[in-house]
Structures are given as C-alpha cells and as structure tokens.
Amino acid sequence: MFPKKPPTDINKNDFLHNLDEAREARRREKQMQQAAIIIQKTVRGYLIRKKYRDYRKNELKQIFLGFTDPNPQKYPSLQLASTMFPHLQHFLLYYNRMKVKNNSTDLQQLLLGVLNYISTSLIIDDIKYSHLAAFFNKEVNAQWMKFNQDFMIVILKVIETTELTTNDDIKLIISSLNYLYLITDCQSWKALQKNMNELLLKTMLALNRSYLIHLGQHNLLKTLKISMIRCMHRRLESSIIHNIATLAFKLLLNSDFNRTHLILFSQTILIIPTFITMCHESSHKLFQMICQKDLFNHLICIYSIKEAFVSLSENIDIIELCYMLGNIVALASIDLNQLEAMKQPFIHCLFNILDVCRQRQTSNEQSGKQTKMTSVWHPIIGHVRGKTSGMTVSNQEIVQRVIIQYKFLWSKSFVNMLFESIPTTSSGNQSLSTAKKETNIIRAKFEKLFHSKTTTDKLTTDELTQSICRITTFYQKLIQILTELRLQILCALSLQDSLISSLWQFLNNIGSTCGLKELLKIYETNKENYHPIFDLLQLFCNLCSYLATVLDEEEMYREQKYLTLDSWSQFCLFLNQFVYRLIRIEFERTITTSPKLKLENNQLYKTLHQLLILLHERNSRKSFTPDSHWLIREVKSSSSFMADLERDDSCALYLLEQIPHILTFKDRVKILQMFIEHDKEKECTEVSPLRHHSRNYYEIHRTNLFGDAFRALQNASSTIWKNTIRISFINQQGLAEAGIDQNGIFKEFIQEVTRQAFDPAFNLFKVTENRTLYPSPISDRTENYLYLFNFIGKILGKAVYEQIVLDIELAPFFLRHFISRKNLNYSCFDDLMFLDRDLYNNLNFIKHYDGDVSSLTLTYSIDEDVLGEMVTYDIIPCGRHINVTNDDKIVYIHRMSVYRTYTRIKNQIKMFSEGFKTLMKPEWINMFSVPELQQLISGESSDIDLEDLKSNIVYQGGYHRTHPVIKWLWQTLEQDFSREERALFLRFVTSSSRAPLLGFRSLNPPFTIRCLESSEHEEEGDSLGRILRNMVTINRTSSERLPSSSTCFNLLKLPNYKTRRILLDKLRYAIKANAGFELS
C-alpha cells in the first residue's frame, strides 16, 4: 500500500488567508496614508485660509475701524480709491461668509466703518479719493456696479433685521440709511460737481435711477417702514426721517407715480404715524417737490375708488389704517386750494377709509369674542381685538401728533368746506355764489330746507337733504371709529356756528314732535332699519349727549346755551316716545333673532337710548320738564302691564329694564316689592325651618354693636341675608334686653349699625358741604376696609330689601355707581361744588378762560398729599406728559371730575356696590334714578303727611277719631311739634323717622293708637268696661305715666291724659328719651 499524504489542503487555505490579510493590511495602511495626506492638506489649507482671513480681517480692521469714531473729524485720512476698492470687495466677501456663521459685534463694527468710509468718500471733493473713481475705470467699472448692488442688498437686510437694542445698533442703522441716501443722490457727490455737464448729469441720474429700481425690487419701502417704526419706539425719528423720506419720494418720482409704487407707498410709508407731518415740518425739499407734482391727487384717485382701496388695504390692520388716515388728512390740509379742487374725491376717499376701518373693527370684535382673544388698548381707537401689526406706538408725543392730524377733519374750515360742497338745487332761492357769501355757511344750507315742510318722501328723495345727511354720516362714522377722540370731535362740532341749532330746526321741520310719526314710518318700512336721516339724528343725539354732559347748571338752566329748556323738554318727549316705539316694533316683528339681541346691536337705538337715560338723569337732579313728561300714556293707563310683568312677558320686562321711567315712581316701588316677595318665597323654600332658625339668630352687645354685627354676618351667605334675621341685644350689664324681635328690634339694629358705620368719625365715610356721605379716600388706612365696605353695602341692601327706611343721605355721585348704566357719560362737574369747592372754582375758571389754556402749563395729572409726601397721579394714561389745550380743556375738566368723584374711591365703591347687590339685584336697582334710589333708602324726605297718617290709623282701647286725647294729639303734632320732633315721634312708634314710600296705607302692621289706663298692665287686652270708660273719658290716667310703644307692631300706647299740656310734655319727653327698645 502507498503511504498516507500530509494534509496540504489545510496549509494551503491558511496560506491564502494569510496572504489576504497581508494584502488588506497593506490596503488599509495605504488608505490611512492617503487620509493623513488629505487631513494634513485640509488642515494646512484651513490654517492657511484662517491665517489669510485673519490677515484680511486685521487688514480690514486697520483700514476701516478708524471710521467708527462718533466724531467724523477724527476719521483717518482717505486713501486712493484705486487701493480701497479691492478692500471693499474683500470686505463684502468676508462679511457674507462670516454673517452666516456668526453675527458678532466685531463684524457689526467693521460694517459700520465701511459704511462711514463710503459715505465720507462720496462727499469728498477729490475724485481720486472718492468711491466714484472706480466707476470711471473701465477695468473695474462692472465690478464696481456689481459691488454696489450687492452691498445695497446687504444693507437692506441689515436695516430690516437690526432691532435697535443697543447704541451700536442705532449707529449702524443711521449710517446704513445715510449710505443709501448718498449712493442714490448724485447731487451730493461733490467730486463731480466741478466738471458736471449735461451728459454726465444724465448718466449719474440714470445710475441713481437704476439703484432705486434695484432697491425697490428688494422691498426698500417695507424695510424703511420697519426701520422707521423701530426708531419711533426709541424716539429717534428725527435723526432718520430725512433719509427715509428722500429714498421713498425718489422712488415715487423715478417711477413717475406708477400705480404699483403708489399702492406700495400707501401700504408701507403712509402707515407710519405722522410721516407726512414730520416731512412737512422739517421743510423737506423733496416733499415739497412731490406735493407740487400732485402726490395728493394721485393718491386720492386711487383711494376714492372703493374697490381699489379695499384691495389696497387688504393686508393693513385697523391701527395702520388710522395712521394712514392721519397722513392723508395731513396731506390734504397742506394745500387748501388743491383740496378745494379735489374735495368730492377726497370725501369719497374718507368714506372708503372709514368703511374699511369699521369693517375691521366689527370683524375684530367678532373674532376676538369667538376666540376669547384679549384686547389691546390704543389711545385713538380704544380697545382693539384680533391680530394687529404691533404698531401701537408707545411714544405719547407721536400719538398726540396723530390726533393733531385728525383735528383738521373737525376744524371750522373743513366743516364749512363740506357744507359748501353740497349742491344747490334748482328749487333753492339762493344761488351757490350767494351761499358762499353768507357769513354762516351751515345755516345758509339748512335754510334752503326750511322754506317748505319736509315730508317723508322728501327725506328719501331730496338731493339737498341727502347731501346734508351724508355729512352727518361722515361724522357719525368718525365718532364710532375714533372712540377715544369722541369728546374732542363733539366738542369741536358743538362750537361750529349754528350746527346744533340748524340740526334742531331740521328735525322740527320734519313734523310735530320732531317728526316722530314720519321717522317711525321710515324705520318700520325699512327692513335694514337704516336710512341716512338716522345718521343725522344720531349725530344730533351725540352732540346733545355731549352738551348734557359738559354744560353746568348755569349754562343749561340760566343762560340756556345752544338749546332752550323748552327745546330740551320737547326733544325728551320725542326720545321717550321714539325709544318706546322702537322696542315695541322690534318685539312685534316676526324675526328669527331675539328682539333684545337685535336692539343691543342697533346703533340707532343705543344712541337714542343713551341720550334718553342721560337726560332723564339730568332732569332728576334738577327738573326742566313737567312731572308727567316721562310717562307713556298707554302704559300708565294699561292695567295689563303689571299682569304682563307677573307672567314674565319679555317685552314688558325689557321696557322695565331699558326705560323704567315710563311708569310712576309708586308703580315701580310696587313692582320692586313684588319682585322682592317672589325672591323671598324662592329663598325660603331653599332653607329648612330648623336650619333657618339656628343660623339666623344673633346676640349683639350694645357696647360693641358694629363689631359684633360685622363678625356675625360678614361671612353669611346671600340666602341667610335674604331670610329673616333675629337680633337679641345685650345691654351694658351683660344681660339680654327684654322684648321679642318681631322685626322691631331688627329695624333698630339696622339703624344703629348704619348710624355708626356712616359716622365720619369712624373714618369710612366723609361728608360733603351739603351734608351727604361718600367713601373716604383715606379709608384704605383702616384695617380690612374693603370687607367693611362690603358689609355696610349688605346692611344697606338688607334695609331696602326689608323696606326699612334709614336717616342717611348719600352723595349722588356715590349712588350713581349702584345703577348699572353702561356707557353713560354723566358729568360729575356740578357735584364738585360740594365735594371740593376750590377744585370746582379752578375748573370753572379753566372752562371759561378766554386765553390760551396751554399757557397755564396744565397736564392730565393731579398732585395729592399722601402722608406728608406729594404724589402725582395720572388721570389718563401718561397724563403727566400731556399738556391741556383749548381744544381739549372740556375733556380735562370731565376727566378731573371723574377722578375726584370716582377714581380715588373706586375700590370702596366697588365693594360697597357688590355688597348692596347681594340682596338688591342690579335689574331692580336700575328701575330707579339716583334721587329715587336715595328715596328707597331714606324714605320721603319731606315732612310727615299728617292727613295721610290720620286716614290710616287704627284705634284701640276706646280711642276714636273724635276722642279728646286724640284731638289733642293731632293738635300737638300739627301746632306744637317741629318737623324734627314729628320725625322723632314717627321713629318712636315705628323705629323709622321717615314716612313709608307708598304712604301710611302701606305700613304693616298699621299704625295703631291704644288707650292706656293707670291701673292696667300693658299686656291687658281691651275689656268692654275699659273701652266704655275711655270712650267717655272716665278714670283718666295718672299724669306720671309716659307714652310707650311697640315698634314691632307700630303701636303707640297713649295714656288717657287729663289735659293737652300734660300730653304735650309727656310725649315730648318720651320721644326725646332715646332709650331704645327697652322704653316700651
């Protein structure tokens, strides 16, 4: 056999494997060597480039950082432009690379140096050192053009993105704008001025034009707007306005007022607040030139077309639109001759802007309510909901300048111009030329309507009537949009010659009672409830609201300025009937939406209703109408109205809510008592008798009456307050006083608590000069003062709830805040006469001051002494920085009055009112005027009506109407007692010194007089023998016995005295003893 061969296959595999590994190792080593070479190459390249960049950076710093010095006189000497241009190219390359990686301060400083260098070289005399030198070098001309275009784009981006948070940012923006201004203005290139010829000038102008077009294509105007707004926030507008205006106007001029550029100009530059005014005041030459080339006409031609303006303003919010309106008005006011020629298109323009503003306002309110978006307050248009651009400029000076722009719209010259624009009808007796010669243009136009009776058809078709209505529509829209300027607008319009009297004559000319039937007919037949005549009516109502607010009693009642008292009275009659009929009409119509909701959204109704309530409030303070003037006959004579209320008829309830004065005061008191009874029934069913008794019984120490009451009741629920509360007094000896509380003790408790609470010595309330009470401004120094005011409000509410009248008089301006009347601009100026006479006299002096009020250096602020230190309070936002002028002195007086009568004590009023409304629902309180609410609290302020009392007396124990003692009693009350003693007598018997609101017939239990013999106990009943003896005056009472009473039962226990003199002495002693409930 052959020998066995060795395993060569295994050795072969290992050999091959080893070869593969060696080959792979060599490959990896080669790759690593190649990678090392690449890495080394990359690192060497990076280091070389870094070294080169650092070299270039240092070189650029060395060349350009010298131009960052704040003082241009310290700039380094300029080098030849041929050597500097390559450095500029290197810088642009370096900047673009570094900008992506790191926007450092060093890079910003370097950019600032480059900008200052180019700007300086552009205005140098020697062309060799000017940045323009490269333009004349054919070899680098194209590069120079390319550099400038690229560099301008860089600068636009810098302007757009720099937030102006540091001083370096401000310097950079100013230099950037200066560069753009110089690079596009060949007139500033001094190096070319010496050798300037026509060809060179055309070439340079073409170069400028190409740069402007290039900038315009890259959002120049938008960038300028952003920069200007940021500068205005930092109050830097004066340093950049010249350059921004020049760039913007040059773009317009070079485009030959191209429509596209005009629209872009409107969407960007014209929404900058007061831009036109700043240009005009700075006497900007280019602005004057562009005005001469009819910028105003070009803009108005676009704005006067509604579709064009709606499209233009699509992406402009309401705040920006208001700034645009200001600028357009400022532009119009510069040249009145030009405006005269374009007044009709300008009026169309104003209407278009106001219409779009109103649409934005409405849509923002709706979207804001749906998304629960918070509102932003703007000092011109008030609270704004929805998205805005954030252009709520905080610079108060700028806001005031915007307002000054607007003032032209209600200036005398513009108002007259509007009325001059009214076409003259052929039926008129005067020509247009004659009307212009009239000293009073407004009266001249209205008199054309007074020659013939105005009918309903004429109101709808007459051209002259429609033109006048259109003017009133304009001002009505203006008032609705510029809500914070409402008073200024109305003040200025009220001063226009004969405007108010002419509007009043116009309404009277429509028909009887100011055209009540005619206007109601138009309202009923118009499905939209809109007619231009209603704008005239609303404007007149707004003017009357203003007058009713600002006229003091001297002006309204004695001087009878603007309107006579008869005119006020007649207009009140119209308003009362018209508002009543409007409510009836809306509730009678078959509509899908709620009549109440529709009326709340009806601007006509809101305006008329507001004035009606305001005039009724004014009349309630000092009457200028007959007693029954405010009553509606069909409601007063209709017994079904009360039935409608009892069955919760929606129309009756809404009438009671909106115009409660159409019912008599006594009727409303009855309705209030009905509501309270229903409320008591509801509350009583919610509390078990056992729980009610255990929680509503309180012991009160007379020595600490208010403190015990506060601790016991401050945390009580409204249910406890509305149910019966029982009181047991603890006397000074610590013993419970005799007597069971059947409301008499509780009434005394209420009266004693209020007497202490309202005592000025308690430091919660102060007294005016006419002895009325209001919360003390320094009550905040009392511990838990807000909780105390809330508690006192509940006590007062409980008194009214239980028909307990109190002997306290509250200041009208304090009571007024109990009544929830929204948007009622009631003036408290006359209230100041008794609150702060010095301030009243000072404000009255300002009101009638004939000179320039601004010379008095008044601001919307007040200085007050707080713990020995003078503190300044603003009466409007930023008020200490706003000067008072003749145009707004009425607003100042109104604001100051509000501050003194409300703002200082608003927290106390709020807590007191909340406590009061815990028991008295707001809708109940709203049924009454301020004097009527005071009457609810304190009852009849007049002397006791003894005849009414006699007619409603119940006699017991043998007394009767003709009994001698009873006759003596009435003689004593009538002849011997003073008014104060009669009040004490009434308090002695009923625990209240005031007569019931609805007379003694409504007293429950009835006022009772019982005969008391000397030998009987008070608990003894009426025996037959006793009655007979007393009837024939046998067994008269001892003269030692005093009269007594049971206030719980309104019972007077009167002894059978022998003489009238004894009765007088004993009764007078008893009522003045002031011994409390224990006397009986």
Cα 1035 to the center of its chain, rounded Å: 75
Strands (E), 151-302: none
CA distance 387 to 935: 49
Q: How many CB atoms lie within 10 A of CB 796?
A: 26
Which residues make beta-bridge pairs with 862? 873
- Residue 794 tokens, joined: 């509940």
Strands (E), 965-1077: 1008-1012, 1044-1046, 1051-1055
Query: Which residue has tokens 């005041």?
Result: 281
CA distance 954 to 959: 9
Q: Which of 482, 655, 684 is nearest to 577 (CA)?
A: 655
CA distance 46 to 36: 15
CA distance 682 to 673: 14
CA distance 934 to 58: 85
Query: Of the listed 186, 349, 514, 1048, which one is catalytic?
Result: 1048
Q: Which of 1032, 988, 989, 1040 is nearest to 1014 (CA)?
A: 1040
CA distance 942 to 939: 9
| Amino acid, res. 604 | L
Query: Which residue has tokens 């007394």?
Result: 959
Residue 185: CB partners within 8 Å, gap ≥ 6?
208, 246, 250
Write down how long the chain is: 1080
Q: Are 67 and 75 in contact (CB under 8 A)?
A: yes
Q: 699: part of which helix (H) or strand (E)?
A: strand 697-701
**By three-state DSSP, how is residue 83 classified?**
helix
Burial class of 755 by CB neighbour count within 10 A (0 to 12, 13 to 18, 19+): middle
Residue 163: DSSP 8-state: -
Strands (E), 602-692: none
Residue 693: CB partners within 8 Å, gap ≥ 6?
none
Q: 142: part of which helix (H) or strand (E)?
A: helix 141-161
Cα 204 to the center of its chain, rounded Å: 55
**CA of 347: how far to CAs of 318, 533, 900, in Å?**
19, 19, 42
DSSP string spanning 417-449?
Answer: HHHHTSPPPTT-SS-HHHHHHSS-HHHHHHHHH
CA distance 185 to 926: 69
Tell me whether residue 1048 is one of the annotated catalytic residues. Answer: yes
Terminal Cα distance for the chain, rounded: 155
Count Cα atoms within 13 angstroms, Cβ side, for 1027: 9
Residue 445: CB partners within 8 Å, gap ≥ 6?
419, 422, 435, 464, 468
Q: Are 995 and 933 in contact (CB under 8 A)?
A: no
Query: Which residue has tokens 């106007």?
Result: 249
- Helical segments of 383-511, H only: 396-407, 412-420, 432-437, 441-450, 456-461, 463-481, 486-494, 499-510
**By three-state DSSP, how is residue 883 classified?**
strand
What are the φ/ψ torsions at residue 780 (nearest 5 degrees)?
-65, -10
Residues annotated catalytic, as ranges:
1048
